[in-house]
Amino acid sequence: MTPPQSRSDAALATSLRISVSRLARRLRAERRARGLQPELSDTQLAALALLETHAAMTPGELADHEKVQPPSITRVISSLEERGLIHRMPHPSDRRQVLLTVTDQGRDVVRKVRQLREAWLAQRLAELSPAERAVLREALPILEKLSQS
């Protein structure tokens, strides 16, 4: 027999998965509806945004951070490079490595997508009560912890 806590944890996991998935779909739909880089996948955008926040990263560091396998990140890198959003440069101390950096065009893409997503979310948050927004603020560290585990 399953303990009641396990059942409630399973129900919480199901509800959280569904809600987070729906929210992610809504954010993707808003980006596509506005015509902002519809040809880029979420993985490509996430990699581009990560590179935008770091001065430079190796492909291995990028793969580790994004929790994907090296062959997958290689395809992402190639696609972003073909579009002129990132470029490779020699690693200063390891000739076997390269460093990836974001181009000005890549920074513009990240900035526009962030602005759109944050504006959409701010509008949705404004529809919530102050108490509901407070609950979300308190849940943020927990959600961040889940996303990093």
Q: What angle do CA 46, 51, 55 make, to 5 degrees?
A: 160
- What CA–CA distance (Å, rounded) separates 115 from 81? 23
Per domain, the residue ranges of the chain are 4-148
Stronger pLDDT, 148 or 8, i.e. the higher one: 8
Residue 36's pLDDT is what? 63
- Under the banding of pLDDT at 50, 70 and 90, the label for residue 89 is very high
Q: Which two tokens stand for residue 138?
A: 């308190």
Mean pLDDT, range 115-143, rounded to an integer? 94
CA neighbours within 13 Å on the CB side: how many for 84? 3
Mean pLDDT, range 88-113, rounded to an integer? 92
Do 56 and 101 meet the contact criterion of CB atoms below 8 Å apart? yes
- pTM above threshold 0.85: no
Residue 102's pLDDT is what? 96
Do 65 and 54 meet the contact criterion of CB atoms below 8 Å apart? no
- What CA–CA distance (Å, rounded) separates 88 from 77? 9
Q: Which fold has domain 4-148?
A: Arc Repressor Mutant, subunit A (1.10.10)
Residue 9's pLDDT is what? 86
